[in-house]
C-alpha cells in the first residue's frame, strides 16, 4: 500500500457566524472571523488516497485524473467564490476549515475508485491546518 497526495489551491471568502447567535455572541465566539462582509484565504487542499500501485503502470491512480477530479468536483465549485453564499453543498454549514474538510470528504469518497480516500488536509493559512480521515 502506498499513499498518494495531490495538492491544489483555491481562493475563497467566507464568514464564520451562527445565525442562531446574536451579533454580540458571534463576535465573542468567532472574533474578527465574524466580520459581516467576510474575509478570505488562499486555501491549500491536500487529498491523499491509499492503494496498491498497478503492476503494469506503477501508479495507484493517474495524478492527472485525480487532479481533474478535484477540479470538477471541488475546485470549480469553491474557487473564487464566497463559501457561505455561492456553494450549494455548504448551505446550512458554518464554513470553518473543520466543516469544509468533512464536506469535501463526503463528496470525494464515492468518486475515488482506484484505491481509497485516506485523508483530506485543508490549510487556511500556513499556521492553521485541519485534517479529516473519515473517522
CA separation for the pair 40, 15 (Å, rounded): 8
> CB of 111: closest distance to a second copy in angstroms?
19
Work out how close the CB of 2 gets to a second copy at its nearest, in angstroms, rounded to a whole number.
Answer: 5
Q: How far is it, in rounded angstroms, from Cα 31 to Cα 24?
A: 10
Map the footprint of a second copy across residues 4-33, applying CB under 8 A: 4-9, 11-14, 16, 18, 20-21, 29-33
Give the phi and the psi of residue 13 in degrees, each rounded to 5: -110, 160
Which residue from 23, 62, 72, 111 is in contact with a second copy, where contact means CB under 8 A? 62
Rule CB under 8 A: is residue 63 a binding residue for a second copy?
yes
CA triple 58-7-3, angle to 5 deg:
40
**116 forms part of the interface with a second copy (CB under 8 A):** no
HSE, side-chain direction, 13 A CA sphere, residue 80: 2
Near a second copy in 31-60, by CB under 8 A? 31-33, 35, 37-42, 48, 53, 56-60
- Is 101 among the residues that bind a second copy (CB under 8 A)? yes
Query: What are the cell numbers at 68?
Result: 481533474
Query: How many residues bind to a second copy according to rule CB under 8 A?
Result: 66
Rounded-to-integer distance, Cα 83 and Cα 89, Å: 10
**Any idea which residues carry the catalytic annotation?**
33, 80, 124
Amino acid at each position: 500500500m502506498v499513499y498518494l497526495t495531490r495538492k491544489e489551491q483555491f481562493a475563497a471568502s467566507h464568514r464564520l457566524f451562527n445565525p442562531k447567535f446574536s451579533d454580540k455572541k458571534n463576535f465573542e465566539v468567532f472574533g474578527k472571523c465574524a466580520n459581516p462582509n467576510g474575509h478570505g484565504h488562499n486555501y491549500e487542499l491536500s487529498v491523499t488516497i491509499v492503494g496498491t500501485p498497478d503492476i503494469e503502470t506503477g501508479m495507484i491512480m493517474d495524478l492527472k485524473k485525480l487532479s481533474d477530479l478535484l477540479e470538477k468536483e471541488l475546485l470549480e465549485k469553491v474557487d473564487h467564490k464566497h463559501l457561505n453564499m455561492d456553494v450549494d453543498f455548504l448551505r446550512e454549514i458554518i464554513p470553518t476549515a473543520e466543516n469544509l474538510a468533512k464536506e469535501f470528504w463526503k463528496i470525494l469518497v464515492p468518486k475515488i475508485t482506484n484505491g481509497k480516500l485516506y485523508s483530506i488536509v485543508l490549510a487556511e493559512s500556513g499556521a492553521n491546518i485541519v485534517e479529516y480521515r473519515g473517522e
